Structures are given as C-alpha cells and as structure tokens.
Structure 1
C-alpha cells in the first residue's frame, strides 16, 4: 500500500492578496487589506537536484504544483544556489544576494609570508644594483683617468717628435720649413709652413717624397695614427697642398690651385721679350692658375729661324723663369708661327 506522502494530495491553501475596496461611503479614501483565497495545490513528492545532489527540505518548504506550474520557496532555492535570502518585512521584499567567500586564515598567512619574502628579495636586488652602479661609476672614472694620463703622455711625446722633425726636415730640399704637430696618438694633424716660392722650387716627386718621409717618421712613434696635413704659405697662410698618409706612410697629395694675375704675367713677358734677341718681336697668350700655366708664344717663322740654337733655348728658359716667379708649379709652352700657327718649338717645366 502506497504511503500517503507519495500520493498526489490536493490541499486547500488560503492565499493572501491585496484588494482595493471602494464604495459610496468611502468615496474620499482608499485602503488595502489582506484577504484569503482558497487554491488547489498538489504535493507530489517533488525532488530538487542541484549539480547532481538532492537538496533537502522539510514539510514547511516542500515544493508543490499549481495549475501545471511547480512552486518552491525562494529561501530553499537560494540555499541550493548558495545565495543569501532575506525577508524585508517593512517593505515586504525578498532580498537575494551573493554570499561572501570566506578566506582560510592559513591562506592569508601564506600569502603574507610570500609577500614578505618577495619584498626582501627585491630589497636585496636593489642593494646589489646600487653596488653595481657604484662599481661602474668608479670604473668609468678610472678609465677616464687612464685616458687623461695617456693623452698627457701622448701630448708630451708629440712635442718631442715635433722638435725632432723640425731638426730633420727644416732645411731638407732647402725648404726652410716650420713643422707643427697636433692631436693625439690616434689622429695627428701636420702643418708645414714655408714660402710658396721655396715649395714650388721642389719638384713634384720630391714634394711627395718629402711628405712621405715626414709621415713615416710619425708612424714610427705612433704606428696606428691617422695622419692628415697641410702645406701653407708662411707669408700669408694660404694653403698650398693638403695631404693624407695611410698606415704605410703612402701620401695622397692634393695640390690647391690659386689664381694668377694672367694680365700682369702677360705684361711681364711682353716687356722682357720685346725685341730682346735679334730685334725679334714675340707676342704671348697665357692661361691657367698657380698649379699650371700654359703659354703660347707667337713669332714670325723667319725671325725664329734667324735665332741661334742657344738663343732659342734661352728664350724658352727665360719664359719659364718669369712664370715660375709668379709661384706657378708647372709651365707648358708652345712657340707658334705667326703666319700659319704651326708649332715651331715646345717646352715645359
């Protein structure tokens, strides 16, 4: 025989609702009152399962069905879902909220210990970093001191070398040059000062050899130095030549051209050669700069042929001399026939 608990059992429940009542006698006011209303609820031993586990309840909180809808108390549902359920009697409200998550004190203690350990490790690392920074700063200071000492030593050695170079090269090639060195063991600048005429009196090959000898002597003392230099006119400071030397002392020479007063040069030539030899008249055309001047001399063919071999050579040498006196490095010349512009002679220096 089935137990009464497992059988469907209709029960009459009195429900409370609010009704608004108004009438002729109370036309000026309205009030609410609790009323009861009978309903047919069916208890059918309904079970509540949450995440595979049955939620227990008692007779007061047993779920029931009404008109095909299952009803269960909010407190029972809230408990099953781990929610906090309260009744606000004043405002007639059911309040549902999340429960606070309790933290085990041992967990808190472990976390605090971990924080303490990490803080100590951080402080230790900071102290070590401070020590490293101090060490680096001291090393940088020591390194700078060594550099300063090396520069002082290099400067002293550079001055000694400068004096030696002046002793060895001042009068070489009759240059009467003054040599100055500046820089350090890695980069050395050489300045050689002499008159432009003395520099031009040195042939191009000897000029290059002169600078190579100086560079090689520098490299004997400062083998890793980069050398660059300038040859200057001691009268006005104008640059005559710039040069660079590689680690083997090979010199790359760059001659600097300057303007020559070609009109003045032509006037000098005309004055010097106006009927100087056998009453021969010579006209001139000049072009170029201080690095090289080309001169064209024009003379009648018969007049040129009337000159002796010695006179012809003397004319060419004197033309070169007049041009070289204007501090010109190289001279190229052609003697032309006035009649047909044919070449009668060529000369150069």
Structure 2
C-alpha cells in the first residue's frame, strides 16, 4: 500500500499560508500593498543533500515545485549552510547572518592590548639585534686587525730569519743560492734559487743535507711550522726539485721533470756517433728529464754486417751514458731502427 506522503497531489495554498510554512515571501514589490494570490505547489518528496548528507525536513519545511521551479524554505537552507535566518516582520525583511559567536568589547580591548604589548616587545628585540649586529661587526673588525698585525709581525720575523739563512747558506755547499721565506709561523714556504749546474753538482746525499740544515734552523725559531719548499733554476726560474719535511726536520726530495733541449742533444749525439766505425747514424730524442726515448736510425745491413757485437754494444752504451750522465736524464730507453722504413731492429 502506497504511503500517504508519496500519494500527495498538487494543492492550492495562498501566499500567506506559504509564508507561514516556508518563511518565503511572494510579493510584486517591496513597497507594494499586501496581496493574496492562489498558487499551485507540487510536493513530490524532494530531498536536500548537502556535501553528501541529507538535510532533515518535515511537513512544514518540505521543498516543493512551483511552475517548474524548486522552492526551498530559507530556514531549511540556513540550517544546511550553517546560517541564521530570521524574519523581520516589521520591516518585511528576511535577515541572514553567520552563526558566529559574538565577541564582547572587553575581549576585543584585551586582544588589542596584547597586540600592542607584543609589538613593543618585537621593537625592543629588533633594537637589541641591531646592537648585537653592531657589536659582532666591531669584534670581527678588531679580530681582523689583530690578524693583520700578527701577520705583519710574523712576516717581519720571517724576513729577519730569511736574512740570517742567506748569510749562513748562500755560499754553503758551493751553491751560491738565494733563499726566500713566505707564509706565517705555522706554515712556511721555502724557495731556494741557484743555477742548475750547481744543483746538479751536488750528490743526492749532499742535497738532502743542505736542505735539512736550512729546515732545522727554521724549526729552531718555529718548532711547530709545516715546511715545504722548492729549488728553482736562477737562470729561468724553472723548478729543479720540490721537498717536504716532517716535524723532526727530515727532508724528502722530489725531482721535478724538466723539458729537454732535444735539438742540442741530437746534435751532440750526431757529433759523437754520426759516423761510427764507418757506419752512418741519425738520432731523434723525445721526453723530459725524468724519462727520455732515443731512436737511432741506421741501414739494417750496415748494423748487422759492418759492425761487430762489441761495436754495437759500445754504441748503445755510449748513447745511454751520454743521456743519463751528461744530460741528467733519470731513465733512458732506446731503439735501433732501419733507416728505410723505421722498423725496429733491437731495443736497448
């Protein structure tokens, strides 16, 4: 059996009765005289869904259709939207307002006072930060001044020590050297300049002794200093060697590879071996002072048939000896090659 509500039929009500049910006012003009018109409202069990939830209604607040338009009582809409809806009968107005909690004047005054207090505290904190910033800036400036003075004093002291070292070691070991100190009391760089020939004339042990004597004199003045140094050619300032030290003043020397005057070396080899035992030779040299490669060009028949085994050995040994001992090349490798096609005959 169908419910009574679902069987509702269109009904005719007056605007006055509609206002009583829904809170809605139907009039032709805000200031017109009150009139009454018959209307035909259709109730068809209309539901109101707000954010997925059905808004409850009853027989007095149920929405209805009028000429194809759906009408919803304002109070019901206000309930769904959390708004306060009232009827001002005197002025014939529907008044809609937020359901907010009213704040009394004492609360507003207290909040304003709190804002004023916090603003004052903030201004005081800003002034304090400004003072602190100025103090920090002054401290940084004073610190830099102290560093500059310390560096100046350290530099002045290093220059005094530099003069003494040059006095003691410029002619020591027959080096005729010039010593320069740079850095500060905790980190000192030593530069020693002399001719390449004087440096090469020193044996490895004398080089080490010479540098250690200088380093130990520096450590007498600056016992905690880290000391590193460079030996340079006074003619062109090329590096001849670098050295490092430990806390005891022991020196570790590292030879620096330098470029070779290959044209001069090749001419020297040609002058000495260009026509050896009646056989013609040509030479090319490449590499640097740490390692060089020499290619010796000869006709393969002359090498194999015109030279004895001893002559061949004397030639290769002589070439190596000249490059190592006269040109101060640490390591030498050589190849005998056929003049015709540069193919290798032997290596030495």
TM-score by length of 1: 0.56
- Residue segments in structure 1 that go unaligned for 5+ positions in a row: 1-13, 19-31, 38-67, 276-280, 304-315, 333-349
Between 1:133-142 and 1:103-112, the stretch displaced more is: 103-112
CA contact (8 A) 2:87 2:93 kept: no
SS of equivalent to 1:190: strand
In structure 2, the CA distance between the partners of 1:36 and 1:286, relative to structure 1 (3 Å rule), is: closer
Distance 2:291 2:94 in 1: 114
Q: Give 1:136 deviation, angstroms.
A: 0.7
SS of equivalent to 1:192: strand
Report the structure number with the largest CA radius of gyration: 1
1:263 equivalent in structure 2: 266
CA contact (8 A) 1:17 1:34 kept: no
2:188 equivalent in structure 1: 188
In structure 2, the CA distance between the partners of 1:256 and 1:178, relative to structure 1 (3 Å rule), is: same
CA contact (8 A) 1:194 1:233 kept: yes
In structure 2, the CA distance between the partners of 1:97 and 1:293, relative to structure 1 (3 Å rule), is: closer
In structure 2, the CA distance between the partners of 1:151 and 1:269, relative to structure 1 (3 Å rule), is: same
Between 1:180-189 and 1:126-135, the stretch displaced more is: 180-189
Q: Give 1:256 deviation, angstroms.
A: 2.0
Q: Superposed, which structure 2 residues align to 1:76-91 within 5 Å?
A: 83-87=85-89
Distance 1:289 1:198 in 2: 20
The aligned length equals 254
Q: Give 1:106 deviation, angstroms.
A: 2.1
Q: Superposed, which structure 2 residues align to 1:74-223 within 5 Å?
A: 83-87=85-89, 94-98=94-98, 101-223=101-223
In structure 2, the CA distance between the partners of 1:85 and 1:249, relative to structure 1 (3 Å rule), is: farther
CA contact (8 A) 1:269 1:322 kept: no
Distance 1:243 1:138 in 2: 42
CA contact (8 A) 2:180 2:192 kept: yes
Q: Give 1:211 deviation, angstroms.
A: 1.7
SS of equivalent to 1:85: strand
Q: Superposed, which structure 2 residues align to 1:5-84 within 5 Å?
A: 34=35, 69=59, 83-84=85-86
In structure 2, the CA distance between the partners of 1:269 and 1:208, relative to structure 1 (3 Å rule), is: farther
Q: Give 1:97 deviation, angstroms.
A: 3.5
SS of equivalent to 1:240: strand
Distance 1:97 1:117 in 2: 33
SS of equivalent to 2:248: coil
SS of equivalent to 1:227: strand
SS of equivalent to 1:208: helix
- Residue segments in structure 2 that go unaligned for 5+ positions in a row: 1-12, 18-32, 39-57, 62-73, 295-302, 312-316, 333-348
TM-score by length of 2: 0.56
In structure 2, the CA distance between the partners of 1:268 and 1:208, relative to structure 1 (3 Å rule), is: farther
CA contact (8 A) 1:231 1:241 kept: yes
Distance 2:84 2:309 in 1: 132
In structure 2, the CA distance between the partners of 1:236 and 1:82, relative to structure 1 (3 Å rule), is: closer
In structure 2, the CA distance between the partners of 1:199 and 1:69, relative to structure 1 (3 Å rule), is: closer
In structure 2, the CA distance between the partners of 1:284 and 1:201, relative to structure 1 (3 Å rule), is: farther
> What does the per-residue CA deviation read over 1:84-113, in whole Å, with 9 as the maximum and x for residues that have no partner?
421386xx6644444775422221222122
CA contact (8 A) 2:229 2:242 kept: yes
